[in-house]
Amino acid sequence: MRLPFVLAFLALAVPATAQNAEEGQALFRTHCATCHGLAATGDGPMASVLVIQPSNLTTLSQRNGGAFPLARVIQRIDGRDPLVSHGSPMPVYGDYFEGVFDVPVKTDAGQPILTSRPVLDLVSYLQSLQVK
């Protein structure tokens, strides 16, 4: 029976906020700011040449009824929920965030999701930027 595995998985799941937001900020500056801007407001130097403008990442919670869309953000970054406008998972740096999904995280709904440590650090940073 798989029940012991599921229970062990849930016990190990940690909130994304327990990750390293400072490391996430460094990852953001390296991999995301070109399009989303240093302030994550969607005004990076490449934004003007994109067909669909980058999102303002500081309003993710606001645009989601006040709750940070953890699972959607994780899957968007790690390539499981690719953007049609990109034609592929996150362009340029997408490969960096794809691959090993070895860290379990519990969403606000209590559902577990697997991802990588760099993605969790980046998500933690994005959560810290949310406007109230």
Longest dimension (CA), the chain: 53
**Torsion sign, CA atoms 31, 33, 38, 40:** negative
76 phi and psi, to 5 degrees? -70, -45
pTM of the predicted structure, to 2 decimals: 0.80
The string of pLDDT tens digits covering residues 22-74 is: 999 999 999 999 999 999 999 999 988 888 888 999 999 999 999 999 999 99
The pLDDT, as a whole number, for residue 75 is 87
C-alpha distances out from residue 24 to 7, 19, 99, 131, Å: 29, 9, 18, 18
Measure CA 13 to chain center.
Answer: 16
